[in-house]
Structure 1
Amino acid sequence: MWIRIVRHGGPRRRPRSTTTVRNQADSALKLLIALVGIHALYSYQARALPLTAIDFTRGRLTLGDIDHPLDAFTEQAAVDYIHLRHQRWPHTRNPHVFISSQTAHTRAPVTTGWMQPLLRGLPVTARKLREDRILEEAAVTGAEPQHLCAVFNITPETELRYTRFFHPRPHGQRRRIRLQHGDIVTDHHAHLLAAIM
């Protein structure tokens, strides 16, 4: 975005501060990682998340059948991003949490073209981040199928993709490799969150 400046009788242009751009990108990235990596939203759900889904008064994140308590990291990330969002686009009527210069004057959600540059350079994709969150929950809760389906609003068929890693199999070695892989992904998730805090 270019800002028009009148100086010495003629228009000049200068780019917005790169610090401002970086702050907005960092805030958006933190919130996106919280929504995908903590609450296990699909990336399309995060991109189209309405502002009304984040209820600071009740401390809840609600979207369809999803109703999660707001953890401290997600709450602070949402506060920071929404503050910067309001500073840059104080008069926008876009109902979605995430907006861009292309969508601020519409009611459309941001696209994958907005999201992909944010995630570029991270050690995992949004899909892997979400999968890791579900694997982490499965490991902590003993891979209880009903719990995973209720918390993450997934089907029993999808749930089997995650719980099968934690149930005994005839080939014990293969099972251990699967678990180690899950642990590695979980470590990536922890490092990723630590890096942006």
Structure 2
Amino acid sequence: MFEARRDLTGRVSDEDARRGNPWLAWARHSAHRLGEARGWPRKTRLNVDQALVIVLTGHAEGDVIRYSEVFPVLRSRGLSVERTTEVLDHIGVFLNDRPSSFELWLESKLDGLATGIARDVGDWARLLHDGGPRSRARHAATVWNYFNRIRPVLLEWSDRYDHLREVTRDDVLAHLETVQGSQRQTTIIALRSLFGWAKKNGTIFKNPTSRIRVGQREEGVIQPLEPGHIDGSVAAVTHPADRLILALAAVHAARPAAIRRLQLDDVDIGNRRLSIDGRTRPMDELTLQVARKWLEFRRRRWPDTANPHLLINKHTALGTGPIGKSSVAGPTLHRQTATLERLRIDRQLEEALVHGPDPLHLAEVFGLSEKTAIRYANSARALLEQAAENSTSHSEKELGPDCGALKNDGHADSTGLA
């Protein structure tokens, strides 16, 4: 009638666990093969073996081992949860019943909304995050940004209404009057997405955001970093991996996600070539030096690792996955003005300033979209024009008032050019 959860807290001797337990024997054999393939050190192998004895004692055909069962037991004894569950999953007895971080976040954000509104908003947010038959999944940051922007007005409407179908056009316009600039634009886009989904799925009768214009956002001129800010970031990083990450962002304008995806085969030291997201480029002297130092450190620190990624740490060295997002530009650079993102932007702007504000060139070198390449080109053009104006004004001050008179005199100017 119901499924009982197993108690794994009891201590079992290794001798008792060995008797007539084919699942433990299979798991130990699988752990041995995984350890050899992944380069697990002896300490990790003994750790996993002890954990398998605890988890698989009394295991029978058809039993399922859940993450929620093994985590508290193994964590309390200092045993590796990640490596143990990897072995359990390999032999087909593991069930990962952890709620996703997105669902936990969404549940906290839906708290306080009216029941009818929360139901529709939750379904809309999940569709954005997971995608559907006719809609692509959005980046998690996009979903967070949309939801956080409209949550205040959803809470306000929840005090008056029970469903989104009760929200009117005047309600939307009244809220838009309270926000300005980019906040107003993001709010309109998010509300249009929400109500457009609700109208399509028949949960509302009329879209209150229809014919409300989003407007064109005015992009400001991208400003270059000061040399002192760049020097501060260079001095702040000392670990070989961090120095390589800094070089990839500052010299090659690589995004953090692209840096995490880099494989060992993407770095050709002999031919001084580097491949980032399928785009091969020459490797400069600086990148070559920091890459060599990192590879030497990697070889000494984890000589037996089977992880094919260029950048690894003590956690990923035992597996085959990439390093986490927090491992790329950790707290050291977050405290600097020249963060990885700022350094990447500055590198693309520098290319536009040095080689001319040509969007096609920028798109070819960095793989930028048309809109992004045009923005960098426009910023570079504005900076070059500003520098030319400042240079002209400085020259006029040095030459004195006669320079201005000559410049304003069309006849004298044309004669001088002739």
Normalized per residue, which structure has more strand? 1
Which residue in the other structure is 2:346 paired with? 132
Q: Deviations over 1:34-63 (max 9, x none)?
A: 111101110111122111111112210013
Alignment of 1:60-75 (within 5 A): 60-75=273-288
Which residue in the other structure is 1:81 paired with? 294
d(CA) in 2 for partners of 1:122 and 1:26?
Answer: 16
Q: Check 1:163–1:95 CA distance in 2 against 1; reply closer, same or farther (3 A cut).
A: same
Alignment of 1:5-154 (within 5 A): 26-115=239-328, 116-154=330-368
Q: Deviations over 1:98-156 (max 9, x none)?
A: 10111001111001222223524333221111000000000001111111111101111
d(CA) in 2 for partners of 1:25 and 1:95?
Answer: 24
> Structure 1: any 5+ residue segments left out of the alignment?
5-23, 181-197
**SS of 1:123 mapped into structure 2:** coil
Percent identity, aligned pairs only, is: 33
Alignment of 1:153-168 (within 5 A): 153-167=367-381
**What amino acid does structure 1 have at the position aligned with 2:321?**
A
**What amino acid does structure 2 have at the position aligned with 1:141?**
H
Q: Deviations over 1:132-190 (max 9, x none)?
A: 00000000011111111111011111101211113359xx9xx749xx9xxxxxxxxxx
Shift of 1:25: 5.2
d(CA) in 2 for partners of 1:45 and 1:145?
Answer: 22
Aligned residues: 152
d(CA) in 2 for partners of 1:117 and 1:83?
Answer: 24
Deviates more, 1:43-52 or 1:78-87: 43-52
Shift of 1:64: 3.5
d(CA) in 1 for partners of 2:296 and 2:381?
Answer: 45
Deviates more, 1:143-152 or 1:130-139: 143-152
Alignment RMSD, CA only? 2.5
d(CA) in 1 for partners of 2:246 and 2:276?
Answer: 17
Q: Is the 8 A contact 1:29 1:118 kept in 2?
A: no
Q: Check 1:70–1:29 CA distance in 2 against 1; reply closer, same or farther (3 A cut).
A: same
**SS of 2:317 mapped into structure 1:** coil
> Structure 2: any 5+ residue segments left out of the alignment?
1-42, 44-236, 391-418
d(CA) in 1 for partners of 2:351 and 2:302?
Answer: 37
Which residue in the other structure is 1:190 paired with? none
**What amino acid does structure 1 have at the position aligned with 2:263?**
P
Instruction: Please identify runs of 4+ aligned residues in structure 1 that moved more than 6 A.
Output: none
d(CA) in 2 for partners of 1:94 and 1:154?
Answer: 30
d(CA) in 2 for partners of 1:49 and 1:119?
Answer: 21
Give the structure-2-normalised TM-score: 0.34
Normalized per residue, which structure has more helix? 2
Q: Which structure's relative contact order is higher, taking Cα pairs within 8 Å and 6+ residues apart?
A: 1
Q: Is the 8 A contact 2:306 2:319 kept in 1?
A: yes
**SS of 2:316 mapped into structure 1:** coil
